[in-house]
């Protein structure tokens, strides 16, 4: 079992400011703790799908995970951005149990490894962007995502946790057809509400354990007064459900 070394997570915070654009180490670690809230990482097998700069995978590795696999299709590149950042994150952290794979989840072969924690941080809509936009009216799109989720489930052990972090399409600025001053890059139509993802996952054997709403670091002391669906509607609408995998339902074939 890989035990967290003293200061290991603090080092992730420092690397996140240099390699991933976080303003301060404290803000990076605050977001990591929000993302893994209530999920035990100690001794766990962790898979991150669409790992970007690798901050959350690095945090899991530093926080005691047994093995971490970060899937980032751009990681094979050498240009600036996520490709170089995630490789630098892994190398500078010096964690042998932190593995970076330049693959999509569709192509990834886990070679019999089963994961205890699977993270999709701001990447769920990118698994199939066209299908994501059409989920509300297209059975073909829903079938495409069910197939993706089934593929992920086949790599998870019973009782494993799936963490999804994304922005809901239901947002004050989105309703007005405006870009949010707090989340200017978000194209609201390319996202879905948490209940949409739950409805797709539940028939595959997933049960929702909790649903949390992210808040910003300056508002952290307000606790649940700031981290809730109502306040988030006027901010970034950034949510985080944790789904527990209970195994493939009887009679389910994919």
Intervals of the chain under pLDDT 70: 1-6, 75-83, 250-254
> 156 with 118: CB under 8 angstroms?
yes
178 three-state secondary structure: coil
3-state secondary structure at position 18 = helix
How many domains does the chain contain in total? 1
pLDDT at position 2:
42
Q: How far apart are CA 239 and CA 99, in angstroms?
A: 27
Give the whole-angstrom CA distance, residue 150 versus residue 224.
33
Assess if residue 184 is contained within a domain. Answer: yes
Domain assignment present for residue 250? The answer is no
Contacts of 98 (CB under 8 A, 6+ apart): 57, 58, 61, 68, 70, 90
Strand partners, 46: 68, 117
How far is 7 from 13, CA to CA, in rounded Å? 10
In a domain, 20, yes or no: yes
Residue 139 resides in a domain: yes
| Domain-embedded: residue 252 | no
Residue 218 maps to which CATH number? 3.40.50.150
Q: Is residue 206 part of a domain?
A: yes
3 state DSSP class of 209 = strand
Q: Is residue 119 part of a domain?
A: yes
| Residue 2 in domain | no
Q: Looking at the DSSP assignment, which residues form a beta bridge with residue 190?
A: none
pLDDT digits (tens, 9 = 90+) for 54-91: 999 999 999 999 999 999 988 555 445 666 889 999 99
Please give the Cα distance from 36 to 187 (Å, whole number). 25
Evaluate whether 145 touches 127 at the Cβ level (below 8 Å).
yes
In the numeric block, which tokens belong to residue 217? 């670091």
Instruction: Say if residues 117 and 160 touch (Cβ distance below 8 Å).
Output: yes
Q: What is the pTM of this model?
A: 0.92
To 10 degrees, what angle do helices 55-62 and 8-19 make? 170
Cβ of 234: how many Cβ atoms within 10 Å? 12
**Domain of 133, in residue numbers:** 8-245
- Dist CA 188 CA 159 (whole Å): 32
Rg (alpha carbons) of the chain, rounded to whole number: 18
């Amino acid at each position: 079992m890989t035990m967290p070394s003293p200061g290991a997570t603090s080092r992730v915070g420092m690397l996140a400011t240099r390699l991933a654009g976080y303003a301060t180490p404290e803000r990076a670690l605050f977001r990591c703790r929000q993302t893994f809230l209530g999920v035990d990482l100690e001794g766990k097998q962790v898979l991150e799908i669409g790992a970007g700069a690798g901050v959350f995978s690095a945090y899991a590795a530093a926080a005691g995970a047994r093995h971490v696999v970060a899937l980032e299709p751009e990681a094979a590149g050498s240009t600036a951005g996520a490709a170089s950042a995630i490789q630098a994150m892994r190398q500078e952290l010096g964690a042998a149990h932190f593995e970076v794979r330049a693959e999509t989840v569709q192509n990834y072969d886990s070679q019999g490894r089963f994961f205890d924690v699977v993270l999709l941080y701001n990447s769920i809509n990118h698994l199939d962007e066209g299908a994501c936009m059409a989920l509300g009216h297209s059975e073909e799109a829903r079938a495409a995502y069910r197939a993706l989720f089934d593929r992920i489930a086949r790599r998870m052990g019973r009782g494993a946790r799936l963490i999804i972090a994304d922005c809901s399409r239901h947002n004050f600025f989105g309703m007005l057809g405006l870009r949010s001053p707090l989340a200017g890059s978000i194209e609201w139509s390319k996202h879905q509400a948490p209940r949409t993802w739950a409805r797709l996952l539940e028939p595959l054997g997933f049960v929702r354990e909790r649903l949390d709403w992210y808040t910003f670091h300056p508002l952290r002391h307000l606790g649940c007064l700031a981290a809730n669906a109502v306040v988030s509607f006027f901010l970034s609408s950034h949510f985080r459900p944790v789904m527990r995998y209970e195994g493939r339902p009887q009679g389910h074939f994919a």
